[in-house]
Amino acid sequence: MLDIDSPSEVIAAAVVFARSVTAVTDRVAATTRECTPQHAPVSQLDHQLVASLEWIKSVCARAAATGRADSESSFQKTVRIAEALDAADQHGAQRIAKYAPI
């Protein structure tokens, strides 16, 4: 006999995972927004460092947005698959009950 989690257990785990990813990506986005130079750039080195900081912030923001979108997509797919497996299981049980000898 297989030990398979119920669809509601699978969906509940997916909810926890999606919320965790959202919490992390929200924190990454907030942290990158907070990264600002302490003063206006003066020297050429200052300007290069500010440009590097902006690049880092854009990379982190894109990664956070992609991670969140991927998490949402994975969650939606998990729900659809869990519901489809549950429906197939119920259908199979009905077919067996219909043809099983009494």
Q: Any idea where the domains of the chain sit in the sequence?
A: 7-99
Q: What is the pLDDT of residues 3-45, one digit of tens each?
A: 678 889 999 999 999 999 999 999 999 999 999 998 899 999 9
Does 102 have pLDDT greater than 70? no
How do residues 54-89 score in pLDDT, each as one tens digit? 999 999 999 999 999 999 999 999 999 999 988 988
Question: Is 49 strand, coil or helix?
Answer: helix
Query: What is the chain's Cα-based Rg?
Result: 24
Higher confidence at residue 97 or residue 7? 7
2: left (phi over 0), alpha (psi -120 to 50) or beta: beta
Q: With 0-12 CB in 10 A as exposed, 13-18 as middle and 19+ as buried, what is 64? A: buried
Instruction: Compute the distance between CA of residue 88 and CA of residue 84 in angstroms, rounded to an integer.
Output: 6
Give me the pLDDT at residue 70, please. 95
Q: What is the mean pLDDT of the chain?
A: 90
